Amino acid sequence: MGYGMVIDQQLCVGCAACTIACKIENNTPVGFNWCDKITRTSGKFPNVRYEYISTMCNHCDNAPCVAACPTQAMYKDAGTGLTLHDTNKCIGCKACIVACPYGVISINWQRPHRHWAQRDQLAEGCFSPREMLEESGGEGSPHGNPERGTTYPVVRPAGSVEKCTFCDHRLLEGLAPACVDACPSGARQFGDIDDPNSEVSRLVAKHGGQGLREELGTRPRVIYIRDYKPQRRFEPFRPAGEGQGA
């Protein structure tokens, strides 16, 4: 059993709904995202190519961040294949950030969401941010999703790193990660990529595909299929099996 994600580049429209859904679900502060993007523009007009690659932690099987972490704060969960993080053990040494070849780990240089702790009112008679926070019963911000807190702090402390957990708190409830549910074009598929009969494994078997920077030997669990090409735009309308190579 090991979770993995397949992202169909032909279906991804670059709308960033995944990024926004992740931000809301996981209460990430201003300044970084767990789910983000790489964009690449290449070629010369009129043959210009623009690529949008949705990125997040790849939950690598051979994770350099886990090997580099001196305190085992970054660890592999044997049951799920997820790369997870324990804020209580994190000493903020940033070795994981330097070691991750994908740039997907961020650190809270300051206490995140701290403006919600302020008692100052913007104008006489208004709510202070603190009052709004207390009224909503929120932790760190009135919008903080309390369900996030079942497996990881809703607000991660200053000095601690953080990154995508594949929404492990949702997986426990039998739900898919928030980014998968938010994707309007069904470009993201999620499941047990160690099971050859799962939908994600079938997609990889059918289309090939690869993870990012696989040459480094990290064995990422996020696999990109069907590299985007304009001529493939109408492929779903063709008879099945025709021209489906990755």
- The reply on whether position 85 binds ligand SF4 by CB under 6 A is yes
What does 31 interact with, of another protein, ligand SF4, none (CB < 5 to 8 A by kind)? another protein
Phi, psi of 61 (to 5 degrees): -65, -40
* Nearest distance from C-beta of residue 202 to another protein, angstroms: 28
218 binds ligand SF4, rule: CB under 6 A: yes
Alpha-carbon distances, residue 64 vs 6, 21, 100, 186 (angstroms): 21, 27, 6, 30
- Answer for which of 2, 29, 64, 112 binds ligand SF4 (CB under 6 A) is 64
Of residues 124-163, which lie at the interface with ligand SF4 (CB under 6 A)?
Answer: 161, 163
Q: Which stretch binds ligand SF4 (CB under 6 A): 10-18, 27-35, 37-45, 91-99?
A: 91-99
Nearer to ligand SF4, 85 or 113 (CB): 85
Helix, strand and coil content of the chain, in percent to the nearest 5, comes to 25, 20, 55
**Interacting partner of 117 out of ligand SF4, another protein, none (Cβ under 5 to 8 A depending on kind):** none
- Residue 153, preceding peptide bond in cis (omega within 30° of 0): no
Q: Count residues contacting ligand SF4 (CB under 6 A)?
A: 28
**Residue ranges binding another protein (CB under 8 A):** 31-33, 36-39, 55, 64, 67-73, 89, 91-95, 97-107, 109-110, 158-159, 212-213, 216-218
CA–CA distance, 240 with 237 (Å, rounded to integer) = 8
> To which residue do tokens 């001196």 refer?
70
b/e map of 106-119 (b: 16 or more CB within 10 Å)? bbbeeebbeebeee
Query: Between vectors from CA 146 to CA 6 and to CA 151, what angle results, nearest 5°?
Result: 60
- Chain residues binding ligand SF4 by CB under 6 A are 57-60, 63-65, 68-69, 71, 73-74, 83, 85, 90-96, 100, 102, 104-105, 161, 163, 218
